[in-house]
Structure 1
Amino acid sequence: MNQLQSMRVFVKVADLGSFVRAAGALDLSTAVVTRHVADLEARLGTRLLNRTTRRLSLTESGTTYLERVRHILDDLEGVEQMVVARNHEPVGTLRIVAPVVFGLHSLAPVVQSYAERYPDVMPDVTLADRHVDLVEEGFDVGILVARQMRSASIVTRRLTTGYMTVCATPAYLQQHGTPTCPEDLLTHPCLSRPAEQGGDEKVFTGPRGEVRVRPTNAIAANNTEMLRQFALLGMGVAILPSYLIGRDLASGRLVPLLGDYHLPQIEITIAYPSRLHLPAKVRTFIDHLVAHFQRTDDHARDPRATMPRRAVAGSPAYADDLPVSALLGDTTRPKRQATRSGTVASSTI
């Protein structure tokens, strides 16, 4: 029998734990599946599976062989897919999932430019602040904000980094005073997520090293867009992600505070089910997404990028004049702090 096919059959049997289920998945008879595994064992001169009337289990040799064979088959399929993909144009429905706030404020321009470039692909975007199983729910691509996805079948790739910014309205600061250090937040009403979603204690890094404070919430909300609205109404001091309030900071609606201190960064990544058999629509969208956020990072490193238009060109500073790519970077902290790294725990920011 074909050795490569026997290897594929063995992997399927091991994954499903049954000759019968493997036969169904491969559209083969149970006898043929059994023969493939038996021929493989005969070729190797060792037993790979322990068989009883009730269950199958891998032998020690079978466990080692399975791990190595899986890598061989993955590499082979990857090479074949790479060659085949060159002859396939992006087409069909592209299912994308992203957190609500990030999707509303930062994803639309990327999807719009991709749709213009690849008109035969129809983006289907879902916004959700919950754990998403990409494979089970049939998504092609997922955007993760400050979240880790642990799965052998999921591939993740860094897109960019956001920043948490302490801010308030000019009117609020005029009435209540301006905080100059993290401890000052204890005397101000704060706007934050509930503790179980990353609120409560805040860890700042600044001239005095690490400073931990537990601000008193004036109001809590599980959605940062709602917290932004509260902040714009002057209800207190808010701690919000840069991609959400970039235009507010640029226009002066919100004022950045505690410029000598910074909070952990927000890692933003892209996830997709597998490198194998990656459809052209997924591959091209990933490339497009990565290129977009690379331009974002480059733009954010330009000190002119986050300046209001009035400061750059002498014209009025309208928030909507600023490109989205100017709003993801750190608009509040000195340049020397821009390379510090860290993550936050919440997935709803």
Structure 2
Amino acid sequence: MSRYTALQIFRHVAELNSFAQAGRLLGLSPAAISKNIAELEARLGTRLISRSTRRMALTEEGTLYLRHVVQALDALSEGERALCAIRGGPAGTLRVSAPMTVTLTRLSTALPGFLASYPDLKLDLNLDDRRVDIVREGFDMAIRASDNLEDSSLVARKLAVMPHIVCAAPSYFDAHGTPTTPSDLKTHNCVRFSLSGHADSWRFSQGGRIEHIAITPRYSVTSSLAVRDALREGFGISLIPRPYVEDDLAAGRLLTALEDWQTVDTTLYAVYPSRQHLAPKIQVFLDFLADAFRRA
């Protein structure tokens, strides 16, 4: 393989701290990864990585070399992005991870129009409510919904804020009554979105008073769409982002409760690796997301 490929392999191995993970990311066999590292070390006349059957670590020389390799590869990538922009705009494949419900309720109908505007761009959209490691798994960007975005090395762009409401079907309220205080929820059949940051404890506030209600549901599920379906069927009551049930509220299929109490907000972010200059394909998708959520 070329020296450029060997440098890319060395960078991925060093940043992921794993030969195997670098191989999966690059689509190369473990033998090819090891061979390229060995040839690079032979060319340089020094050992870059100390490795055993259980662990690996950069040598002092490897740490020094990695710093220069990263700078050189980033400079080459920036040059390629500049040429791409000159040739006529965003191109290549954009890999994005996004929550399923947010995408299906707010984005999916607008995506064909976005792609029609950039004929040289391909979108590989992975719908998954779990929190992916975008660097380790090879994504260019992720959309994340969070009550509190954790500190990280990623750049985050705020897209929208989704307020939560307590709601259920009219038939459920007819059968079980409508809660008038958060503590009433302890006797209700709560439906829990298990991937939420507040899955086990629902927070309410009113006039400086805060209540945390522990949830012990009969039904926990990893999809907000499944929560919505359970509510529509009159199975129970839940705390859910209002945009997910806006049409149901307008049609009277669902009704709200505890409206005089404030609940949590979930903020949507676009997160991506920190770079001095964004690739055109990432920049145009960020602009599309900002416009789509602003319209929504």
Q: What TM-score, normalized to structure 2?
A: 0.70
Could you tell me which residue of structure 1 aligns to residue 289 of structure 2?
Answer: 289
- In structure 2, how many angstroms separate the alpha carbons of the residues matched to 1:181 and 1:24? 65
CA contact (8 A) 1:81 1:277 kept: no
- In structure 2, how many angstroms separate the alpha carbons of the residues matched to 1:15 and 1:219? 43
Residue 32 of structure 1, CA deviation: 5.9
Is residue 2:117 matched to residue 1:117? Answer: yes
Over residues 122-165 of structure 1, what are the superposed CA-to-partner deviations in whole Å (9 max), with x where a residue is unaligned?
A: 3222212334232343333221122757654x433222111221
- In structure 2, how many angstroms separate the alpha carbons of the residues matched to 1:199 and 1:52? 43
- In structure 1, how many angstroms separate the alpha carbons of the residues matched to 2:116 and 2:192? 38
CA contact (8 A) 2:192 2:217 kept: yes
Q: How does 1:198-217 map to 2 (within 5 A)?
A: 198-217=198-217
- The alpha-carbon distance between structure 1 residues 233 and 94, as it changes in their structure 2 partners (threshold 3 A), is same
- In structure 2, how many angstroms separate the alpha carbons of the residues matched to 1:98 and 1:128? 6
- The alpha-carbon distance between structure 1 residues 178 and 285, as it changes in their structure 2 partners (threshold 3 A), is same
Query: Any stretches of 5+ residues in structure 2 without a counterpart?
Result: 1-6, 18-32
Could you tell me which residue of structure 2 aligns to residue 139 of structure 1?
Answer: 139
Q: How does 1:49-88 map to 2 (within 5 A)?
A: 80=79, 83-88=82-87
Query: Any stretches of 5+ residues in structure 1 without a counterpart?
Result: 1-7, 38-48, 297-324, 326-349
Could you tell me which residue of structure 2 aligns to residue 176 of structure 1?
Answer: 176
- The alpha-carbon distance between structure 1 residues 204 and 139, as it changes in their structure 2 partners (threshold 3 A), is same
Greater strand share, structure number: 2
Over residues 63-106 of structure 1, what are the superposed CA-to-partner deviations in whole Å (9 max), with x where a residue is unaligned?
A: 8x899979977996787567445314223333222122222222
Secondary structure of the corresponding residue to residue 135 of structure 2: helix
CA contact (8 A) 1:218 1:236 kept: no
Aligned residues: CA RMSD? 4.3
Q: How does 1:241-320 map to 2 (within 5 A)?
A: 241-275=241-275, 278-293=278-293, 295-296=294-295
- In structure 2, how many angstroms separate the alpha carbons of the residues matched to 1:246 and 1:179? 20
- In structure 1, how many angstroms separate the alpha carbons of the residues matched to 2:251 and 2:50? 71
- The alpha-carbon distance between structure 1 residues 221 and 71, as it changes in their structure 2 partners (threshold 3 A), is closer
Q: What TM-score, normalized to structure 1?
A: 0.61
Secondary structure of the corresponding residue to residue 184 of structure 1: helix
Q: How many residues align?
A: 270
- The alpha-carbon distance between structure 1 residues 52 and 155, as it changes in their structure 2 partners (threshold 3 A), is closer
CA contact (8 A) 2:14 2:58 kept: no
Residue 202 of structure 1, CA deviation: 1.4
CA contact (8 A) 2:84 2:91 kept: no
CA contact (8 A) 2:155 2:274 kept: yes
Q: How does 1:329-348 map to 2 (within 5 A)?
A: none
- In structure 2, how many angstroms separate the alpha carbons of the residues matched to 1:230 and 1:123? 32
- The alpha-carbon distance between structure 1 residues 57 and 230, as it changes in their structure 2 partners (threshold 3 A), is closer
Over residues 173-212 of structure 1, what are the superposed CA-to-partner deviations in whole Å (9 max), with x where a residue is unaligned?
A: 2343322221222232222235997423211111252112
Aligned amino acid, residue 87 of structure 1: I
- In structure 2, how many angstroms separate the alpha carbons of the residues matched to 1:253 and 1:104? 20
Is residue 2:189 matched to residue 1:189? Answer: yes
- In structure 1, how many angstroms separate the alpha carbons of the residues matched to 2:265 and 2:97? 22
Could you tell me which residue of structure 2 aligns to residue 317 of structure 1?
Answer: none
Identity score, percent: 29
- In structure 1, how many angstroms separate the alpha carbons of the residues matched to 2:145 and 2:68? 34
Q: How does 1:214-225 map to 2 (within 5 A)?
A: 214-225=214-225
Secondary structure of the corresponding residue to residue 217 of structure 1: coil
- The alpha-carbon distance between structure 1 residues 236 and 32, as it changes in their structure 2 partners (threshold 3 A), is closer
- In structure 2, how many angstroms separate the alpha carbons of the residues matched to 1:250 and 1:78? 49
CA contact (8 A) 1:98 1:128 kept: yes
Aligned amino acid, residue 165 of structure 2: T
Secondary structure of the corresponding residue to residue 135 of structure 1: coil
Could you tell me which residue of structure 1 aligns to residue 105 of structure 2?
Answer: 105
- The alpha-carbon distance between structure 1 residues 81 and 204, as it changes in their structure 2 partners (threshold 3 A), is farther
Secondary structure of the corresponding residue to residue 86 of structure 1: helix
Secondary structure of the corresponding residue to residue 109 of structure 2: helix
CA contact (8 A) 2:100 2:127 kept: yes
Residue 232 of structure 1, CA deviation: 0.9
- The alpha-carbon distance between structure 1 residues 178 and 50, as it changes in their structure 2 partners (threshold 3 A), is closer
